């Protein structure tokens, strides 16, 4: 009887890889994990991949000349392949289970970014406007942040930032219009915030949404705001 119980426990420790269905102790086997579109060496601040002229410094020329509001960007993956497919399924096909998978992939890579520096003490997901959240039924960034919080043991505050301005979807407008689209789009619901915050979203393209949210958080006490995004989209 004891032997049977041990066998059941052993089987429960294993999952099926979401890609190849092989037995694995994690949600994704090591072979499939290695084939994901990992983001290359990039600018510490904005997360854009370095050009040949930039890679002698941790920060790109654009951030040196026009620094954004955020302190750094943690973007482990490119927005393509399986990563893109899982994010789109989570956002538009109600595949909520992908939130845990994406959170696992992010949390696994996130530790590499904080080996020599302190981690944020609070996670705030980028909010949706109330109208859009009612249409979708959930906020995909909050779903991911919930699992990241549990995996990293960093608390999450899902109500500290409010999107009071109904904006157009950033993906549907040109680059020049994106900054104006999110201008003054956010309000802070907290009178005081910790000094170091992680602002979590699914995808980062130009960074205008994150920059606008970061600017609001800094007005309420945050000194350092790190962008945490699953994937960086190529512009």
pLDDT, tens digit, for every residue of 185-214? 788 987 789 999 999 999 998 888 999 999
Look at 167 and 206; give whichever has higher pLDDT.
206
- Residue 235: per-residue pLDDT: 61
For the stretch 17-61, pLDDT in tens is 999 999 988 889 999 999 999 988 899 999 998 876 555 578 998
Confidence of residue 234 (pLDDT cuts 50, 70, 90): confident
Q: In this structure, are strands 196-204 and 122-125 parallel, antiparallel, or unpaired?
A: parallel
Which part of the chain has CATH 3.40.50.2020? 37-232
- Residue 150: per-residue pLDDT: 97
- Residue 165: per-residue pLDDT: 73
Q: Does domain 37-232 have CATH number 3.40.50.2020?
A: yes
Q: 50-54, 56-60, 100-104, 177-181 — which is least confidently predicted?
A: 177-181
Tell whether pTM > 0.85. Answer: yes
Cα separation, 178 vs 17, in Å, equals: 38
85: enclosing H helix or E strand: helix 81-92
- Residue 100: per-residue pLDDT: 95
Average pLDDT, the chain: 86
48: enclosing H helix or E strand: none
Look at 105 and 5; give whichever has higher pLDDT.
105
Confidence of residue 216 (pLDDT cuts 50, 70, 90): very high
The string of DSSP letters for 199-212 reads EEEEEESS-HHHHH
For the stretch 132-158, pLDDT in tens is 899 999 999 999 999 999 999 999 999
Of 233, 229, 209, 227, the C-alpha closest to 70 is 227
The string of DSSP letters for 219-235 reads HTT-SEEEEEEEEE---
């Amino acid at each position: 009887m004891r032997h049977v119980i041990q066998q059941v426990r052993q089987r429960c420790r294993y999952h099926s890889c979401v890609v190849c269905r092989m037995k694995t102790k994690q949600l994704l086997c090591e072979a499939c994990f290695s084939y994901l579109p990992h983001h290359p060496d990039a600018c510490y601040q904005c997360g854009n991949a370095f050009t040949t002229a930039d890679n002698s410094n941790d920060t790109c020329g654009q951030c040196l000349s026009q620094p954004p509001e955020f302190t750094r960007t943690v973007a482990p993956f490119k927005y393509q392949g399986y990563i893109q497919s899982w994010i789109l399924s989570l956002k538009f096909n109600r595949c909520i289970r992908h939130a845990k998978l994406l959170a696992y992939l992010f949390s696994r890579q996130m530790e590499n970014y904080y080996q020599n520096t302190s981690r944020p003490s609070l996670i705030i997901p980028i909010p949706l406007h109330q109208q859009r959240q009612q249409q979708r039924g959930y906020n995909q960034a909050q779903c991911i942040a919930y699992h990241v919080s549990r995996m990293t043991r960093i608390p999450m505050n899902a109500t500290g930032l409010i999107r009071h301005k109904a904006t157009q979807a950033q993906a549907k407008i040109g680059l020049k219009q994106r900054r104006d689209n999110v201008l003054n789009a956010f309000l802070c619901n907290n009178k005081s915030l910790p000094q170091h915050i992680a602002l979590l979203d699914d995808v980062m393209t130009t960074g205008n949404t994150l920059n606008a949210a970061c600017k609001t958080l800094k007005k309420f006490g945050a000194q350092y705001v790190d962008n945490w995004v699953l994937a960086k989209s190529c512009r």
